[in-house]
Structure 1
Amino acid sequence: MPSFDIVSEVNLVEVKNALDQTNKEVGTRYDFKGSDARVELADKVLTVYADSDFQLDQVKDILITKLAKRDVDVRCLDYGKLDKVSGNKVKQTVTVKVGVETELAKRLVKLIKDAKLKVQASIQGDTVRVSGAKRDLLQETIALVRKEVTDVPLQFNNFRD
């Protein structure tokens, strides 16, 4: 019985490379001279530091640009709240979302069942396994999910005949 998995993965090596490039650019730019602007990574959580809200936005823009150049989908970033550190200094946490969350997985299963395709969708941890009798039905399911779910980067892998 043919099947495939719906997953949401991020290449963390590319995220680290983009983070290093961002810190390098922030260190060499004239408008950041003498400031404490930087980005740190700890266990899939990026922390952006800056001297003001404006500089924080600039650092985030640089980070997003570097991530996009390295083919990391920026829809996987979840921005936290803005925190005041000391004086005018601010920081913000940015979480890199990996895996299909249970709420999204339930939404995907409901979407596939409502489409009345002859396939079965089941939640297995942080992936959604879709299996069906024919390969064409699975390809229709992939097209349906790509069209309907646009707020989260999804990949379709582990395709088996």
Structure 2
Amino acid sequence: MAKDCSFDIVSEVEMQEVDNAVNQSTKEIGQRFDFRGSKSSVNLENNEIKIVADDDMKLKNIVDILQNKLVKRGISLKNLDYGKVDSGSLGSVKQVIKIKKGIDKEAAKKVIAAIKGMKVKVQAQIMEDQVRVSAKDKDDLQQVIAELRQKDFGVELQFVNYR
């Protein structure tokens, strides 16, 4: 009897790297000349990055700094969900960026539809915030991985537990 092979499709974010990027961003904001005397800040709280700036221009600069630090640390920008910019007191602006973990139901359905469209003999099923793909042949699984890497589902996909 042939043993089934499988792998899981997940979307994980290394929170320690996000914390490091936020800390580096805070340090750079404190050192830059254009932020001297401003009340700009970047904080990480419960999977949310909260940004406060004096005006829209400084907010855009802070977001740019943060994005650069995240990319250097290997965090995909696809896993960020940018909230709307809120006006605060004395002309300040605030923005909350949520960090998306796991594959939501809509993205999981798109992944499964893409796998079914490949006409490969594999089975895919949604398991909470991940998708498990199984097949009898490892070559089919590798073909699925190769084709999924070329597509965009709105979140960064990682392929784990390949056995």
**Which residue matches 2:131?**
128
Q: CA deviation at 1:149?
A: 2.4
Where 1:67 maps in the other structure, the secondary structure is helix
CA distance in 1, matches of 2:44, 2:23: 10
**Is residue 13 of structure 1 aligned with residue 11 of structure 2?**
no
**Which residue matches 2:55?**
52
CA distance in 2, matches of 1:152, 1:144: 15
TM-score (norm 2): 0.95
Where 1:106 maps in the other structure, the secondary structure is helix
Q: RMSD value over aligned CA atoms?
A: 0.9
CA distance in 1, matches of 2:87, 2:5: 52
TM-score (norm 1): 0.97
**Which residue matches 1:84?**
87
Q: CA deviation at 1:28?
A: 1.4
Where 1:98 maps in the other structure, the secondary structure is coil
Of 140, 155, 158, which aligns to 2:161?
Answer: 158
**Is residue 33 of structure 1 aligned with residue 48 of structure 2?**
no
Of 98, 102, 119, which aligns to 1:116?
Answer: 119
Where 1:159 maps in the other structure, the secondary structure is coil
Instruction: Give aligned-pair identity as a percent.
Output: 46
**Which residue matches 2:99?**
96
Which aligned segments of 4 or more residues in structure 1 are displaced greater than 4 angstroms? none
Instruction: Give 1 or 2: higher strand fraction.
Output: 1
Corresponding letter in the other structure for 1:18: A
CA distance in 2, matches of 1:109, 1:75: 19
Q: CA deviation at 1:150?
A: 5.5
Stretches of structure 1 that go unaligned for 5 or more consecutive residues are none
CA distance in 1, matches of 2:57, 2:15: 27
